[in-house]
Amino acid sequence: MFGRLMPREGKYFDLFNAHAEQIVLGGRALVSLIEALIDASDQAVHFAEEIDRYETTADRITHETVAALHKSFITPFDRDEIHQLISGMDDILDLTQDVAESMNLYDIKKVTPEAKQLADIALACCEHVRGAVNLLHTMDNAPAILKNCQAIDRLESDADRVMREAMSKLFREEHDVLQIIKLKAIYELLETVTDRCEDVANTIEGIVLENS
CA dihedral 184, 187, 191, 193 (to 10 degrees): 110
User: What predicted TM-score, i.e. pTM, was given to this entire model?
Assistant: 0.92
pLDDT for the residue numbered 9: 53
Closest CA to 183 of 171, 194, 192, 195: 171
Quick count: other Cβ atoms within 10 Å of Cβ 8? 11
H helices of 142-176, in order, are: 142-173
* Residue type for position 149: C
H helices of the chain, in order, are: 12-38, 44-71, 79-105, 113-134, 142-173, 177-211
pLDDT digits (tens), the chain, 212 positions: 334 444 445 489 999 999 999 999 999 999 999 999 988 878 889 999 999 999 999 999 999 999 988 887 788 889 999 999 999 999 999 999 999 999 999 988 889 999 999 999 999 999 999 999 999 999 999 999 999 999 999 999 999 999 999 999 999 999 999 999 999 999 999 999 999 999 999 999 999 998 87
Closest CA to 77 of 131, 18, 7: 7
2 near 73, Cβ under 8 Å? no
55 near 27, Cβ under 8 Å? no
* Residue type for position 97: Q
3.90.1150.10, 1.20.58.220, 3.40.50.300, 2.160.10.10: which CATH number matches 10-211? 1.20.58.220
pLDDT for the residue numbered 57: 98
3-state secondary structure of 65: helix
pLDDT for the residue numbered 5: 44
42: left (phi over 0), alpha (psi -120 to 50) or beta: alpha
Distance CA 100, CA 190 (A): 10
114 near 165, Cβ under 8 Å? yes
